[in-house]
Amino acid sequence: MRHAIVLLLGLALVQDWPQFRGPDGQGHAEGQGFPLEWSETKGVAWKVPVPGRGWSSPVVAGGRVWLTTATDAGRDTSLRLMAFDLDSGRTALDVEVFRMRGALLNSKNSHASPTPIVSGDRVYVHFGAEGTAAVSTSGAPIWKTRLSYESQHGNGGSPALAGDLLIVNCDGFDEAFVAAVDVRTGKTRWRTPRPEPHSQAYSTPLAIDVAGQTQVVSVGAFNAIAYDPRNGREIWRVHYDDGFSNVPRPVFGEGLVFIATGFNQPSLLAVRPDGRGDVTRSHVAWRLSRGAPLTPSPLLAGGDLFVVSDNGIASSIDARTGAVRWQQRLGGAFSASPLLADGRVYFLDEDGRTTVLRAGGAGERLATNVLDGPALASMAAVSGTFVIRTGSHLYRIGK
């Protein structure tokens, strides 16, 4: 775990939650004492309004909660970075990074869906094809760049750090590629086209360590590919015929990478990452078809893999074999990715309801907690508390 944190996030502190899905990018909360129950009238340390509209997940670093949002600016839309004081919820920073014109292309998306990354004294923000930037934690611009492509449903996937590179998936319907941007200068170090055929996708890359070699696993339409971050060359590839509009971030553990294949005929693949070239026939350990997610990312807890489908079917799967241990209906619709804290799995649905299950055994239901929704962003966990973003507000939840 410590190696992964250093690899991905440089100077980030363990107690921080500095990127999408936390320190390791896989939804694991450090520490203990996280709350089990809350509501609008119980366990809310603070609740503050967030202007505009955005579904980027909150991240926490340096005593601040960071997120992006999009606000009306006359005929334009202002794409903004905001920070809130972790202790009080007070607005600490609110700066425009880019400005754009254009309507939302999907009712469940926003102009500010990708989650920022905080590393040291910099915040890296990504607004899809509208622009990518590094901003100092004081709000000063450091560099800006634009990776141009045409996205059918707007921006989606978040960037990822691998050493001194910011890795960005650019999966449009006109062209699709993966780019590595130098974190110091904003210059593109490499740009690798996706293989044909391609289509739109909205997933977030994940840097992993395989036998001492860093791989960047990038999920796209019809193919998931592991790249060498030094040069963008393909290490291995797995193909699926019917998968596009992929959203879930892959996860890694138990010697396997777990990949959601996207729409049409969704499935979840477990892939051994020690191959070369096309490993579709040789390195797929197992495949799950029933209950596979379209939007929420999987969650690995020891040998258990937890997934929740968009229509609310939660499953516990033996990560090594693919055997389903249990399935249960949570109810509701899901977009946010689940989170592991204190031996519990927290599932946040689109109505603002969080269902808490015991991570082991038969998945005993421990609590159901309701906030005023909607909620599509994933939760953050820091210092025994949760930070939750709804359509209009930001909450800090504690005991």
Residue 197: cis peptide before it, omega within 30 degrees of 0: yes
Q: What is the pTM of this model?
A: 0.94
Encode 188-199: b = buried (16+ Cβ within 10 Å), e = exposed.
Answer: ebbebebeeebb
Cα 106 to its chain centre, rounded Å, is: 18
Contact between 232 and 213 under an 8 Å Cβ cutoff? The reply is: no
Q: Structural domain tally of the chain? A: 1
What does the pLDDT read at residue 3? 38
Spatial distance between the Cα atoms of 9 and 12, rounded to a whole number of angstroms: 5
Spatial distance between the Cα atoms of 164 and 264, rounded to a whole number of angstroms: 36
What does the pLDDT read at residue 7? 40
Which residues in 2-119 belong to E strands, given as ranges?
Answer: 44-49, 59-61, 64-73, 76-85, 91-100, 117-119
- CATH number for the domain spanning 387: value is 2.130.10.10
Query: What are the backbone angles phi and psi of residue 8, rounded to the nearest 5°?
Result: -90, -35
What does the pLDDT read at residue 25? 98
Amino acid at residue number 377: A
Q: How many residues does the chain have?
A: 399
Query: What are the backbone angles phi and psi of residue 193, rounded to the nearest 5°?
Result: -65, 145
Per-residue pLDDT tens digits for 168-210: 999 988 899 999 999 999 999 999 999 998 899 999 999 999 9
Segments of the chain with pLDDT less than 70: 1-14, 105
What does the pLDDT read at residue 105? 67
Spatial distance between the Cα atoms of 38 and 397, rounded to a whole number of angstroms: 7
First to last CA, the chain: 27
- Neighbouring residues of 123: CB distance < 8 A, sequence distance ≥ 6: 66, 81, 116, 117, 134, 135, 136, 137
What does the pLDDT read at residue 5? 34
Contact between 85 and 93 under an 8 Å Cβ cutoff? The reply is: no
Q: Strands 380-382, 365-370: parallel, antiparallel or unpaired by DSSP?
A: unpaired
Spatial distance between the Cα atoms of 19 and 146, rounded to a whole number of angstroms: 21
Measuring CA to CA, which residue among 344, 108, 357, 345 is closest to residue 245?
A: 108
Spatial distance between the Cα atoms of 53 and 68, rounded to a whole number of angstroms: 9
Q: Which domain holds residue 274?
A: 2-397
